[in-house]
Amino acid sequence: MQATADVTKKESSWSSWKGQAIDLLYWRNVKQSGAVFSSVLLLLFSLTQFSVVSVGAYLALAALSATISFRIYKSVLQAVQKTDEGHPFKSYLEMEIALSQDQISKYADKILLYSNTCMRELRRLFLVQDLVDSLKFAVLMWLLTYVGALFNGLTLLILAVVSMFTMPVVYEKHQAQIDQYVGLIRTQVNSVVGKIQAKIPGAKRKEE
């Protein structure tokens, strides 16, 4: 019974995090999504101008300036008003922030699962278990050489963040039209793949 309760609790926690992420990307709360979006973009743009060490140091200094100033302000205020409210960050200092063994095990299991899946998939592609899939992978890598020549890693990361915060909303508003165009593209791609499979010996997948 205890094990079942723990599993249910973990699933509920994961569902809650997933729901919060979806709400964030779909701008259910405009202020919250805007704050996260602008903060991430500001951080990434800062990294394009300064080193990681400099950005980290500036962020730490900004945070320390804010907390130290607030601590001094509250101390002076308590001295003037002759009150004893205690440390202004007492509730945060007493808050439990350590990861539990169960949480560490859960995240480690997920990382291990994704790593093993990725290694198996790469082995399948590089050792040409399926010729068509390996050819698709080769084309993708070839296209990425051009993408890498045009953009660096940080630029791609910035574009990814912008896409994450814009594409879900665009898709939600224009889902019918987008699905129609995606269906047409998928049909064309499947047609080309079918022709390739018919012409290349050994390219056609074996039926299960």
| 30-49 and 52-81 helices, crossing angle to 10° | 130
- Per-residue pLDDT band for 8 (boundaries 50, 70, 90) equals low
Report the percentage of the chain scoring pLDDT > 70.
88
Mean pLDDT of the region 155-162: 90
Assessment of whether the complete model's pTM goes beyond 0.85? no
The pLDDT of residue 208 is 42
Condensed to tens digits (0 to 9), the pLDDT of residues 75-84 reads 888 888 888 7
Rounded to whole angstroms, the Cα distance separating 7 from 202 reads 46
Rounded to whole angstroms, the Cα distance separating 162 from 25 reads 10
Read off φ and ψ for residue 134, nearest 5 degrees.
-65, -40
Rounded to whole angstroms, the Cα distance separating 86 from 200 reads 77
Rounded to whole angstroms, the Cα distance separating 66 from 60 reads 10
Residue 73 makes CB contacts below 8 A (sequence gap 6+) with none
Is 130's pLDDT higher than 80?
A: yes
User: At 11, which amino acid appears?
Assistant: E
The pLDDT of residue 127 is 92
